[in-house]
Structure 1
């Protein structure tokens, strides 16, 4: 099918997701936006049927590949270009968009769960989970639990405890680690300010920045747009110097099969991944670049935000990306919230989560 006019792009409705793309697009791309919740859970094949470029989250790759709605970037860019962008990107951001031996999106934006703190209220942020628990007894502390974030928080705490979820394709997590995570989350959630359980990351950060009702969130996706009002630091570890458990977020830029990309569009994508765009243009337009150089350059806008969270981003956990993962993530998050609300016992909830994970994978996937 032939489409006239500019390419149609879809990103998410926040300055970090929209402003730099819109400012650089000119007449080449018209960017629409969707809410954060749509970015996290809307079926990607429906979006690809309506847009030529989509900004997506890496766990959507499985359903996108099953639908055949993305163009493999290996056919559009050289191996040298892809290798350079991968080498220049922070942590696992580039490889989170690689699957089945091909590259399906480019890491336009890098983010992971980090700690956010009102240091004017509580002083220097806690660096271990024991210290977080101690702080929760004297200041308002909340976990990020809305939407898919209950499971993402669960996974990040598990990583800090030494076990990455889903390393066994047939098992989500060991019983010992899973119960320890739920126990810790329940202890913290019992002390949290009322109403915080329903807030997405932006809502938590807005509450923290605009009121004194929340002083610390140990795991929330970092937003450079709140730097200055809030202090962002590495996610907590179990012990000093341990791994800061965190689940990779950020966004990837993908090209759909809806319309053939022109040389001008491919050149624009190349520019978005260039050192100049990543290190200067994106940060000046509320973006959060994926280039490691931008995270480590003291001259980058809001450099302290990047400097104090680089270790966490470098070591973040990549979520599963099979076609059934998004549905599992939503159902597992609901199960975690049920445990925290006292609606079900922790052992029953963990068994339910493990069953949900097995059911989300086909028999073939469970044996590969």
Structure 2
């Protein structure tokens, strides 16, 4: 049986999966090939179209509501025992598995764990990394500080800062994204930082920002960006290492505000699932692969044990230990069908609103209205 999978076009998303597939012996009747799509496709491409063409699809958890509505993924409960799923829940860091639970079932295996953290060039900043958003704002008065706002990331930054300020969006009330008071506080901070952010990275996605920081000296700090272990210990001798640490908090003892990312492997309805395929997936999620094989092939594991492993941290500049607390506390986005479209619209609204200096109450009014429409089945989005 030959299977086709789709992942995203970055060493973290592709190399370990491809290397693991290369270990399979086609003579045994089982082979797997992985294709790649750009990060923007991973973030926004309709999941049902991908599932119609691939057996395995690497996806982000906000897509599960859309996937359930389209009926294009197989729930893990149909393929794995309750004991196996419970073990995954215990062994995965933070909400890496629970983020794929929707409508009473799990829809993807937590392959890769990530969340927004702080990235800095330690050689360009004096002293320890800022711990709070007030400290970040103070640093921005004297050092070049960038925000990640391109693509969906303006919305994700907004959500994360709201979580740090004590109001994880749509958690207390699923119909309310954020209160006007907290929303205004978040936009005030974002406007203050965006006004000073270097123009060189304003249109770059997280990969582009981190690559720029590793090669240029005009960005010293990005307080909230998805962590990529590859930039903590770059293979290119000319690249400067990026130091990663926990996301900023509102107060020194507060919650690090960060929106969960990472990836899971979804199994499409078109897939003819065999025991050999399930065993391969079990191996990818097991301790041997997660602590050894995946980090050795540029991947970012989802097992808590890997994030605290001394050898893994020694190889990757302490990236995992320095950011594990943020991942454990990461905020999980809404996952209803319609959220992905809302996220794209909200990002454009926030980004354009900050650039045009729109009144924050107007931005928040539009955000709330668009979020409410995204939750109404059949509403044009």
| Normalised-by-shorter TM-score class | over 0.9
CA–CA distance in structure 2, aligned partners of residues 120 and 205 of structure 1: 15
Determine if contact 1:116/1:231 at 8 Å carries over to the other structure. Answer: yes
2:358 corresponds to which of 339, 344, 350:
344
CA distance in 2, matches of 1:119, 1:125: 8
- State the Cα deviation string for residues 285-321 of structure 1 (Å, max 9, x = none): 0000000000011111326100010110000000000
Please give the TM-score of this superposition, normalised by the length of structure 2.
0.93
| Cα separation, 1, equivalents of 2:335 and 2:72 | 15
Give the conservation status (yes or no) of the 8 Å contact 1:110–1:290: yes
Aligned partners of 1:364, 1:236: CA distance in 2, in Å? Answer: 38
Q: Secondary structure at the match of 2:272?
A: coil
State the match for 1:187 in structure 2: 192
Query: Which residue matches 2:133?
Result: 129
- Is residue 21 of structure 2 the alignment partner of residue 7 of structure 1? no
Aligned to 2:236: none
Is 2:232 aligned against 1:227?
Answer: yes
How many angstroms does 1:363 deviate by?
6.5
Q: Is the CA contact 1:109–1:288 (under 8 Å) kept in the aligned structure 2? A: yes
CA distance in 2, matches of 1:88, 1:169: 28
Corresponding residue number in structure 2 for 1:114 = 117
Q: Does 1:177 align with 2:191?
A: no
Match of 1:266 among 272, 278, 292: 278
Aligned to 2:184, the other structure's residue is in SS state helix
Q: Taking structure 1 as reference, are residues 364 and 80 closer, same or farther at Cα in structure 2, changes over 3 Å only?
A: farther
Work out which of the residue numbers 301, 306, 313 in structure 2 matches 1:294.
Answer: 306
TM superposition score normalised by structure 1? 0.96
Name the residue aligned to 2:21: 25
The residue aligned with 2:69 is 66
Paired residues of 2:232 and 2:317 also in contact (CA < 8 A): no
Q: How many residues align structurally?
A: 361
Of 332, 336, 350, 1:318 maps to 332
**Counterpart of 2:164?**
160
Q: Which residue of 2 aligns with 1:43?
A: 46
CA drift of 1:138 comes to: 1.0
Q: Distance in 2 between matches of 1:129 and 1:304?
A: 23
Residue 344 (structure 1) shift: 2.3
For residues 167-191 of structure 1, what are the alpha-carbon distances to aligned partners after superposition, in whole Å with 9 as ceiling and x for unaligned? 2122111000000000000000011
From 212, 215, 222, the equivalent of 1:217 is 222
Matched, 1:149 2:163: no
Q: CA 1:268/1:303 → structure 2, altered by over 3 Å: closer, same or farther?
A: farther
Pairing partner for 2:370 from 346, 349, 356 = 356
What SS does the aligned partner of 2:334 have? coil
CA distance in 2, matches of 1:250, 1:157: 19
Task: Give the aligned partner of residue 238 of structure 2.
Answer: none
8 Å Cα contact 2:56-2:271 kept in structure 1: no
Which deviates more, 126-135 or 44-53? Answer: 126-135
Decide which of 204, 209, 217 is 1:199's aligned counterpart. 204
Q: What is the CA–CA distance in structure 2 between the aligned matches of 1:226 and 1:363, rounded to whole Å?
A: 41
> Are 2:153 and 1:139 aligned?
no
Contact 1:295-1:303 within 8 A present in 2 as well: no
Q: Deviations over 1:88-139 (max 9, x none)?
A: 0000110001111111101100000000000100032111111111111111
1: CA distance between counterparts of 2:298 and 2:364?
A: 39
Offset of residue 342 of structure 1: 2.1
Matching residue of 2:253:
241
- The partner residue of 1:100 within 80, 87, 103 is 103
In structure 2, distance between residues paired with 1:210 and 1:35: 22
| RMSD over equivalenced CA pairs, Å | 1.3
Q: Matched residue of 1:347: which SS?
A: helix
CA contact (8 A) 1:12 1:36 kept: yes
Contact 1:297–1:303 (CA under 8 A) maintained in structure 2: no
- The CA distance in 1 between the partners of 2:57 and 2:377, in whole Å, is 30
